[in-house]
């Protein structure tokens, strides 16, 4: 029996290096097609990626939005993002569609994606895979480390007093919602960032899989301070950072306290030896055995 095919749909704005890693990784896992909607229609990566087999690039210029949404200017980023994902889903001829950002990577611990999908019951149309978040340790030995959500009562013990600002997300900076694999051909749905919903705005999910070292949506949302800082204003303005942490970071930004922001970044994403040991005791961190850029030379 032939395994199901799968594709990705993404609304992207990132560096060429990150996009090469993102595209080559998922093509290497067997994606039959990757549809990349570029928020910047003049993005310099468009030409590079348009030459790659199984990749479709769609510059989202005013003509694109006018054609699809009847308005040449769509002010809200979230609306552009969700609309592009929904359009991409409607274009898919593959059996399944995975909605991803350019800093997210599907991780199934070596299990082929097609085999994973083939094992799902016919009644399952939407599978949400929860995230693991990139962190940095002192002796990484060339491997990437990812944290898993931990009990909120343990967050301060692991990360210190500043960690209390991340309790709401169980120690994470980024989202806990994950992303969804969606069977193609479903009617009367629209895609949102983390899940599809029906025409009544009801979120759709048949199977919700918690993250582990063998199954996760790997979220590389902070490569270094400069990259994180460059995206911070957008994240604060879009309210993608919750509660106390948003207030702390916004206050540092308003005070032009770059030293304070760098310290906050360090406390959020870099694990001391003591914190790493505590996370390991909680099964809250793991290291990838294989690098995410291992397929890059095959495509670029």
pLDDT in tens, 164-187: 999 999 999 999 999 999 999 999
How high is the pLDDT of residue 25? Answer: 98
On the question of pLDDT at 80 being above 80, the answer is yes
The per-residue pLDDT for range 106-151, each reduced to its tens digit, is 999 999 999 999 999 999 999 999 999 999 998 878 899 999 999 9
Mean pLDDT of 61-69: 96
Q: Which residue in 171, 178, 157 sits closest to 242, CA to CA?
A: 171
Confidence band (pLDDT; 50, 70, 90) for 60?
A: very high
Confidence band (pLDDT; 50, 70, 90) for 238?
A: confident
How high is the pLDDT of residue 106? Answer: 98
Query: Percent of the chain at pLDDT above 70?
Result: 100
On the question of pLDDT at 242 being above 90, the answer is no
Q: Average model confidence (pLDDT) for the chain? A: 95
Mean pLDDT of 231-235: 93
How high is the pLDDT of residue 141? Answer: 83
On the question of pLDDT at 284 being above 80, the answer is yes
How high is the pLDDT of residue 225? Answer: 95
How high is the pLDDT of residue 202? Answer: 95
How high is the pLDDT of residue 228? Answer: 94
The per-residue pLDDT for range 198-208, each reduced to its tens digit, is 999 999 999 99
């Amino acid at each position: 029996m032939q395994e199901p095919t799968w594709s990705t749909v993404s609304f992207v704005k990132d560096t060429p290096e990150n996009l090469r890693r993102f595209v080559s990784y998922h093509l290497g896992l067997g994606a039959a097609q990757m549809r990349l909607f570029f928020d910047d229609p003049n993005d310099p990566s468009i030409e590079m990626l348009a030459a790659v087999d199984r990749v479709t690039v769609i510059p989202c210029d005013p003509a694109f939005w006018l054609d699809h949404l009847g308005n040449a200017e769509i002010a809200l980023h979230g609306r552009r993002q969700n609309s592009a994902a929904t359009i991409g889903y409607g274009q898919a001829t593959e059996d399944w569609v995975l909605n991803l950002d350019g800093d997210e990577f599907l991780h199934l611990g070596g299990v082929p994606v097609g085999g994973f999908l083939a094992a799902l019951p016919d009644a399952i149309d939407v599978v949400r895979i929860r995230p693991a978040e990139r962190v940095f340790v002192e002796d990484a030995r060339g491997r990437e480390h990812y944290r898993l959500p931990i009990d909120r009562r343990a967050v301060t013990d692991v990360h210190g007093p500043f960690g209390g600002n991340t309790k709401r997300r169980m120690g994470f900076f980024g989202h806990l919602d994950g992303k969804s694999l969606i069977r193609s051909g479903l009617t009367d749905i629209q895609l949102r960032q983390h899940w599809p919903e029906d025409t009544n705005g009801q979120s759709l999910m048949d199977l919700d899989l918690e993250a582990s070292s063998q199954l996760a949506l790997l979220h590389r949302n902070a490569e270094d301070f400069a990259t994180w800082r460059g995206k911070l204003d957008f994240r604060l303005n879009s309210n993608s950072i919750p509660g106390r942490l948003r207030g702390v970071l916004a206050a540092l930004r308003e005070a032009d306290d770059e030293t304070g922001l760098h310290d906050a970044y360090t406390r959020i994403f870099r694990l001391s030896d003591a914190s790493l040991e505590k996370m390991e005791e909680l099964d809250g961190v793991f290291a990838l055995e294989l690098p995410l850029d291992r397929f890059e030379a095959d495509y670029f």
